[in-house]
């Protein structure tokens, strides 16, 4: 299907309905089809070659890591995506590399509109069971969504529920080496299965009410939850040798084998709620009062084990080491804004002020198992960072080119 886009001097708008192959996926799947956006193998999103950009949800800024947030928004809940390459002063100065503004569905016909979708896929011929761990690797995928919109007179209500789960079958062959002080190299040659899994669900609700012909109030809430994980079941052959893995006279190669199963799970939770009140005036001007609250949590759980491995018998032996790491980084942010806009003869004048407060805590725990005694040794660390700032914006746009001043 051909892409339907709207171009302006500072942005380009894409309609998600033009990317039907992303149905059942997330915002990352939609963005991966846009010419100015790229997605790396690890899910990292880049805008015009940089990760230094901000994500706006329904025109409101977010502080959560862009790649994590985008993975929590269902593609089926998206109305359109704006790629803002030249942010003016009305946008947050943190988006140096640009802004991706995602608008969720909230428009429909008069009365109640309901849309539902579902997707399921599998490749059973590609299923694999790891012979050492017994883990079943699949390429199964499934999900669905339900979106509702109600319009009546001056009132609009909208909401949606979306779910998506995907398993990815995979294997890895690795070859790493470390240079030693005696000129030799410590080689670590690995191979094994490497499955991945992704699961996310989200819910949103909103209301748009025209109090009068010149007064409007809107409010919305969005919740997203994402789990992203992978396991690895590697067999390592470790030894000392020259750069080409050949034995070095006088240096013991210490050739040995290790079985290394490890699992890494990452979790993301995101809440945002906002309320806006807009008042228009007869002189083609308007003022908007906004309040936004955001809460997010990124956490991780990593378990890493080493076992002795008998290559000749192809058997896993006794446990040699076990490491366990967890971390959690909750974030709370409050942002208020007062924006004034006035239409000019050849353009528009905008003045605004945005006080904001962001508090982010961070903590991690690292546990090491004493294999002999069976007891764990624990290291814990935590910290809290709070930031308050105010931002004044002057935005003058003409029919030719915008001028923005940020203080």
* Position 42 confidence tier, pLDDT thresholds 50, 70, 90: low
> Residue 246, CB half-sphere, CA atoms under 13 Å: how many?
3
In the predicted structure, residue 323 carries a pLDDT above the cut 50: yes
Tell me what the pLDDT averaged over the chain comes to. Answer: 83
d(CA 188, CA 245): 10
Higher local confidence (pLDDT), 113 or 136: 136
In the predicted structure, residue 400 carries a pLDDT above the cut 70: no
Nearest to 368 by CA among 309, 303, 300, 308: 303
What are the sequence ranges of the domains in the chain?
A: 5-406
Higher local confidence (pLDDT), 75 or 321: 321
Instruction: Specify the pLDDT at position 231.
Output: 95
Residue range 187-200, pLDDT digits in tens: 999 999 999 999 98
Q: What predicted TM-score, i.e. pTM, was given to this entire model?
A: 0.72
In the predicted structure, residue 217 carries a pLDDT above the cut 90: yes
Nearest to 394 by CA among 327, 345, 342: 342
CA dihedral 19, 23, 25, 26 (to 10 degrees): 50
Pairing of strands 54-57, 99-104: parallel
Question: Which of 74-88, 150-164, 392-406 shows the lowest mean pLDDT across its residues?
Answer: 392-406
| Cβ proximity of 156 and 149 under 8 Å | yes
Instruction: Specify the pLDDT at position 39.
Output: 73
| Cβ proximity of 250 and 241 under 8 Å | no
Residue range 280-289, pLDDT digits in tens: 988 788 899 9
Mean pLDDT of 81-96: 63
- Residue tagged 């490491």 (tokens): 323
* Position 8 confidence tier, pLDDT thresholds 50, 70, 90: low
| Cβ proximity of 296 and 270 under 8 Å | yes
Mean pLDDT of 65-89: 71
Residue range 251-297, pLDDT digits in tens: 999 999 999 999 999 999 989 999 999 999 887 888 999 999 999 99
Three-class SS state of 311 = coil
Q: Percent of the chain beyond pLDDT 70? A: 83
- Give the bridge partners for 189, in sequence order: 175, 237
* Position 353 confidence tier, pLDDT thresholds 50, 70, 90: confident
| Cβ proximity of 203 and 160 under 8 Å | yes
Question: Which of 72-86, 174-188, 191-205, 238-252 shows the lowest mean pLDDT across its residues?
Answer: 72-86
In the predicted structure, residue 361 carries a pLDDT above the cut 80: yes
């Amino acid at each position: 299907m051909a892409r339907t886009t709207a171009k302006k001097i500072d942005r380009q708008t894409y309609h998600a309905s033009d990317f039907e192959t992303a149905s059942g996926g997330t915002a990352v799947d939609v963005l991966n089809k846009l010419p100015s956006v790229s997605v790396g193998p690890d899910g990292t999103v880049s805008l015009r070659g940089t990760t230094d950009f901000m994500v706006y949800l329904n025109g409101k800024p977010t502080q959560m890591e862009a790649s994590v947030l985008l993975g929590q928004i269902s593609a089926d809940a998206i109305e359109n995506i704006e790629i803002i390459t030249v942010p003016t002063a009305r946008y947050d100065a943190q988006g140096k590399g640009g802004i991706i503004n995602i608008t969720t569905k909230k428009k429909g016909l008069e009365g109640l509109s309901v849309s539902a979708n579902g997707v399921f896929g599998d490749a059973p011929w590609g299923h694999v069971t790891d012979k050492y761990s017994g883990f079943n690797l699949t390429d199964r995928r499934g999900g669905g969504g339900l979106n509702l919109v109600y319009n009546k007179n001056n009132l609009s209500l909208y909401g949606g529920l979306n779910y998506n789960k995907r398993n990815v079958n995979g294997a890895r062959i690795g070859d790493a080496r470390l240079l030693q002080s005696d000129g030799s190299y410590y080689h670590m040659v690995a191979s094994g299965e490497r499955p991945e899994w992704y699961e996310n669900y989200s819910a949103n609700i909103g209301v748009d009410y025209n109090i009068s012909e010149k007064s409007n109030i809107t409010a919305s809430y969005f919740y997203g939850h994402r789990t992203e994980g992978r396991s690895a079941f590697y067999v390592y052959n470790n030894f000392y040798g020259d750069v080409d893995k050949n034995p070095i006279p006088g240096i013991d190669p210490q050739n040995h084998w290790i079985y290394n199963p490890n699992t890494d799970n990452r979790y993301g939770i995101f809440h945002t709620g906002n309320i806006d009140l807009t008042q228009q005036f007869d002189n083609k001007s308007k003022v908007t009062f906004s309040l936004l609250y955001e809460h997010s949590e990124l956490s991780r759980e990593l378990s890493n084990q080493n076992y002795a491995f008998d290559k000749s018998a192809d058997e896993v032996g006794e446990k040699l080491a076990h490491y366990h790491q967890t971390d959690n980084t909750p974030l709370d942010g409050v942002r208020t804004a007062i924006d004034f806009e006035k239409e000019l003869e050849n353009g528009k004048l905008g003045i605004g002020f945005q006080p904001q407060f962001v508090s982010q805590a961070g903590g991690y725990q690292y546990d090491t198992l004493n294999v002999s005694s069976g007891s764990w040794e624990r290291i814990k660390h935590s910290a809290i960072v709070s930031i308050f700032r105010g931002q004044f914006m002057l935005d003058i746009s003409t029919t030719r080119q915008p001028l923005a001043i940020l203080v």
